[in-house]
Amino acid sequence: MKSLIILISGRGSNMQALLEANLDVDNITVISNNPSATGLAIAKRFGVQTVVIDHRTYPDRITFDTALAAEIDRCEADLIALAGFMRILTDGFVNHFQGRLINIHPSLLPAFPGLGTHARALHEGVKIHGCTVHFVTPQVDHGPIIIQAAIPVLFDDTEETLAARILQQEHLIYAQAVRWFMADKLKCSHNHVSIDDMTICEPILYSPGLQH
């Protein structure tokens, strides 16, 4: 029995990509900290169990994280995938799930952690931008990198066009990372993730080609 928990706060397009990916899992639960997250309706359409744990009803970060951790433990999750979960997690939470907590971030980490990644990439004039799936450590948007996708930044890109092309790649690499994890193909030593998959020759960079 493999169990996946997907944590969302809003739109849920990465969650949807995981739900559409035909993953080899027996149980998926979607948890949102935001009762208005549009991703909740999408999850229900897929017939997936949804849970809302509204952070605004908890007095502080620690009590919210404790309730969230209890729900995840109750589901006996093998893997917890943060998919646009816009909450800073306490060290206690992160350490409790170390090695089975992953995140997707819209930049080529360690560049541009935090918010506004596409605007900052355009402002800096980078020529390559992308997205990263990584194991979560207490430092926000850091941690051992599992897979990245890189795309060229085009001369006429806006924040919106760049975000849209990167989101397509996010959907591909997140499903790939979860597949590897569930197939027990990821080995993490110190800050390095190796992938035991003979079908790929360049495991940590997913390069989709020059898609416009």
- 7 near 35, Cβ under 8 Å? no
Tokens of 141: 């948007």
Q: How far is CA 85 from the centre of its chain?
A: 8
CA distance 111 to 48: 34
Q: Please, which residue, 116 or 197, has the CB nearer to ligand GAR?
A: 116
Residue 106 CB coordination number (10 Å):
24
- 4 near 178, Cβ under 8 Å? yes
In this chain, which stretch among 8-16, 18-26, 147-155, 201-209 interacts with ligand GAR, using CB under 6 A? 8-16
Tokens of 106: 């819209």
User: Of the listed 105, 118, 129, 134, which one is catalytic?
Assistant: 105
When asked if residue 130 is in the footprint of ligand GAR (CB under 6 A), the reply is no
CA distance 209 to 32: 34
Q: From the CB of 201, what's the least distance to ligand GAR, in Å?
A: 26
Cis link prior to 138 (omega < 30° from 0)?
no
Q: Identify whether 96 is a catalytic site residue.
A: no
- Neighbouring residues of 13: CB distance < 8 A, sequence distance ≥ 6: 39, 84, 167, 170, 171
Q: Please, which residue, 70 or 164, has the CB nearer to ligand GAR?
A: 164
- 31 near 11, Cβ under 8 Å? no
Q: From the CB of 91, what's the least distance to ligand GAR, in Å?
A: 17
Q: Please, which residue, 77 or 136, has the CB nearer to ligand GAR?
A: 136
When asked if residue 143 is in the footprint of ligand GAR (CB under 6 A), the reply is no
Contact code string over 67-86 relative to ligand GAR, x by CB under 6 A: ----------------xx--
When asked if residue 120 is in the footprint of ligand GAR (CB under 6 A), the reply is no
When asked if residue 12 is in the footprint of ligand GAR (CB under 6 A), the reply is yes
In this chain, which stretch among 10-18, 65-73, 142-150, 153-161 interacts with ligand GAR, using CB under 6 A? 10-18
Q: Please, which residue, 65 or 141, has the CB nearer to ligand GAR?
A: 141
Hey, which residues are catalytic here? 105
Residues at the interface with ligand GAR (CB under 6 A): 8, 10-14, 39, 83-84, 104-106, 141, 167, 170
